[in-house]
Structure 1
């Protein structure tokens, strides 16, 4: 909003320190649940699907905001982990991996020097132990005794670029050597007894990882992530609905059970919106609109406003609660507010925007009392306050000029935008069905054309990429 470099510096500091620390699995990738110390060194070793989904989002957006490749690499490593270890044969995602194996927390993830000696040659051993701070006595204190145990958690205390310089290697040379070693250590670790896998497939957590994969696939222009996201979404929509079309919460052992909660709807709608932006398949917008209408019918408080956590057709409760606290995962109300604003801007349906406005007012006092506990809600409020950008690219999908316009915005960090593509090679472009105002957004001068509207006021149509980017980044130097 303000091009605040100090704020960006704070974000980067946190993301970089987390990536270097023991909270990150430097061997198999992915983040553990949380750190038990301020150095990010000793984690609680459990791995949660939702943590990795939301952190992938953070690193993707950091890449967009800075164009620094390490953030892209981290997001892609997270995806590599969940696509390897957390995915079901049907393509949906499991919930978590436990912290312990063989009755000991972290046993799968920690190393004694003798373990590494058994798989690495002396040169590799010297490099790996120096880079990842591994020693014979161990590199962390056991929590209860505060003694070293001879066990090590691989972690970095410096950036790889500075470590490469100290070892008279280029960054690429060091990365290549470390990757060779990592594969050896990973293969050795795979022979260990793994932590227990929580194989529940949850609609809400799948929504988060689908959204992250779709976002990553779009930003990185990597179809494989979008394909995985689409397959997971297909599974959820086909297997986690009841006979009335309402969502269900959990799938396990070939059985879908438990009526959905607000998080199931809000997170899955978020994923559908990200999938539409990644594919421009109108199917995902239709599904998002249908589900948000069901959500409003089933969860909306008609007296005060805001969404209840449980549906009106759910179990009989003395009182129905509303969740607004954005903690380890954002609240359903926070995500729903942003979903409503995005869908209103896409479809032109003002009722969605009115509902979003009510959410902001209902929970305003809670936000004033504790702003940091409502971080995601403030993202939605920021979208509502604006400036918000509506971008429609009108052009033939197969033509080079259309492709270039669409490609040019992939890496732009524009969180407060919606993006539509009007495929003019079709007599009735599918997007016209759900966003009828775009019928007026045709090609200009018979070329692919960008229509940029800021706070519902539209700029002149343009065929020029630089002009389009200028519209979208009016304050950029």
Structure 2
């Protein structure tokens, strides 16, 4: 009998999430759970029905979120219990980082740990009385299942509701008090800088790089701090810690050896066995720190790694309009890491014997597999590609040292990549976020400047123009998210801070005045929206934003730097470029407002401490004058970009419309005495030197200073 035609069956269920834009929320739009999106309507429904709220927070590329969905949210029995007992609410943490931050703070305070999926039971006023992360359908030793939890809380809600409400109010009050204004200070003690290094040195893994035990996350803020600490103090150990961490990560399975780019984290201490999701912000932050390491050491491996990351992002993560998508999932075909894993038989089937043996030996493949399934805890014949510690990066042998028959790395990688691309790809979360794009734009512009890659500047400009044209509101505010032709959700502090960072890097790489102008405009707008008039620093959400359990002020540099840390660096940079004293004063107030938290955990504020490289007295502003098309001007520009000088900034006074726009934007530049010929003026600590005329004079000055 011939098979009949395939039928396009309609989903058995659809819920309110079907009208949302978030890929994560749409993943749950056909669960039998009657999900509501976050909003006043959900809490009104809870109040009217006399039910608590079941809050579930996750994101589209979260492996354990997928597991919980398969086990529970797609299960009719669990769904029936949830629907009968609660008003269920789904939140994409990447769309609503403010909601996620509030309830993750509660989770960490109450349980001592956090992660996603985040699960919280709330009153109709949003006050939590139970929090946790992943819960299975059935109970396991030490981990209750939803079939046990839900009936328990249904009974408590019916029989002891007043006590639950009282407990929720007490928890909310305690969290509000804990998250109230932190102790500031008149100044941050210089000893805090040294304490951060001491803490990092104590947690440093001398055998495999990185900090602390497994699971190990790429820690770009900490590595950046170490590079700048070495430059400032001459502490060689700081440089060695940074260098070894970057080398070990590049060789590990946490780095995609075939398609490039970093996975989210390593499940083991040696960086070999990754959790496979890829996040845009990781690519941006890691590319930037590899570029800084290249500047500091001259090691071409670090340059190569940064360029490979850019290759991956531009190839696989760029929207046709020029902006960048958010993430790629860890799972494909319902299996974590399947897209990235290889058997030795697969390798032998797609290439010559010599090429296959080179791959198997170079990347530590084994017939029995080197990948330990985190759920089965046994190898299953699958392999992660990683290089042994100390091994050179794959590269073709040049010239006569290679025989015509010798396999070339370029060919081998192309074969592996083509074969892998024929597999089912992991889901790509194609929403565009302003904050993460700001980080990527900044990294691309930095790469253009340091690596002399005009194509990277072009990519940065295309992404910037997308965000500025499609994610700006009519009143000058920013939107946070764009997807499917629609922008929405009011921007938060990170959106403004990270985009301003990208604008400043792009201006300094290109000399295009409109980007400096936009950086000034958005900084001024951010201060209006987020500044804490009482304690200094910036809140996460605007004063007229939705009122949550508390108004968060994030200072900790976690997976991404805090908006306050990046704002501090932006303000110092703008103060130096524009000579606006108010920016320097606000930056000092911001730092004073954070001083108590920074002093309490110095190494957890590594990006904040790195920003001090741009503080008054540490900064260098290079004012370049001339015609940008002149060979001498280009040579001088290249000279200023050599070496490692954290805190260096560029002003372009070119003999064109862009230079005139800068003079209009910064009127005091008319006081600088510049000739028609290409020249450079070096300004440090509000004092400018006499013009340096020509490349040779400039090179001599910089070499001696």
TM-score, normalised to structure 1, is 0.94
Corresponding residue for residue 275 of structure 2: 44
Corresponding residue for residue 691 of structure 2: 461
Question: Does residue 134 of structure 1 match 2:371?
Answer: no
Corresponding residue for residue 271 of structure 1: 502
SS of structure 1 residue aligned to 2:487: strand
Structure 1 segment 35-434 matched on structure 2, within 5 A: 35-161=266-392, 177-384=408-615, 386-424=617-655, 429-434=660-665
Distance 1:164 1:59, change over 3 A: closer
Q: Per-residue displacement from partner, 1:80-125 (whole Å, max 9, x unpaired)?
A: 1111111111111110001010111000000011111110110101
Which of 429, 447, 453 aligns to 2:677? It is 447
Q: Per-residue displacement from partner, 1:377-408 (whole Å, max 9, x unpaired)?
A: 10122322642111101112222221211111
Q: Aligned equivalents of 1:248 and 1:223: distance in 2? A: 29
Runs of 4+ in 1 over 6 A off after TM superposition: 162-166, 171-176
Deviates more, 1:406-415 or 1:11-20: 406-415
Shift of 1:8: 1.3
Cα contact 2:354–2:407 (8 A) shared by 1: no
Which of 259, 262, 267 aligns to 1:28? It is 259
SS of structure 1 residue aligned to 2:350: coil
Which of 437, 442, 445 aligns to 2:668? It is 437
Q: Per-residue displacement from partner, 1:135-185 (whole Å, max 9, x unpaired)?
A: 20112323244322111101100445499999xx96999997122111001
Q: Aligned equivalents of 2:395 and 2:688: distance in 1? A: 50
Q: Aligned equivalents of 2:503 and 2:458: distance in 1? A: 13
Shift of 1:69: 1.2
Mark the runs of 5 or more structure 1 residues left unpaired by the alignment. Answer: none
Q: Aligned equivalents of 1:427 and 1:107: distance in 2? A: 50
Q: Aligned equivalents of 1:174 and 1:410: distance in 2? A: 41
Distance 1:17 1:386, change over 3 A: farther
Distance 1:90 1:163, change over 3 A: closer
Distance 1:427 1:275, change over 3 A: closer
Q: Per-residue displacement from partner, 1:5-56 (whole Å, max 9, x unpaired)?
A: 3211111100110000000001111100001111000010000000010000
Cα contact 1:346–1:418 (8 A) shared by 2: yes
Q: Aligned equivalents of 2:513 and 2:300: distance in 1? A: 32
Corresponding residue for residue 110 of structure 2: none
SS of structure 1 residue aligned to 2:652: strand
Shift of 1:447: 2.7
Cα contact 1:324–1:332 (8 A) shared by 2: yes
Shift of 1:293: 0.7
Count, aligned residues: 473
SS of structure 2 residue aligned to 1:186: helix
SS of structure 2 residue aligned to 1:430: helix
Q: Aligned equivalents of 2:254 and 2:395: distance in 1? A: 23
Distance 1:65 1:469, change over 3 A: farther
| Structure with bigger gyration radius | 2
SS of structure 1 residue aligned to 2:625: strand
Q: Aligned equivalents of 2:445 and 2:366: distance in 1? A: 41
Cα contact 1:442–1:449 (8 A) shared by 2: no
Shift of 1:221: 1.3
Query: What is the RMSD of the two structures over their aligned residues, measured on CA atoms?
Result: 2.4
TM-score, normalised to structure 2, is 0.64
Cα contact 2:439–2:499 (8 A) shared by 1: yes
Cα contact 1:24–1:31 (8 A) shared by 2: yes
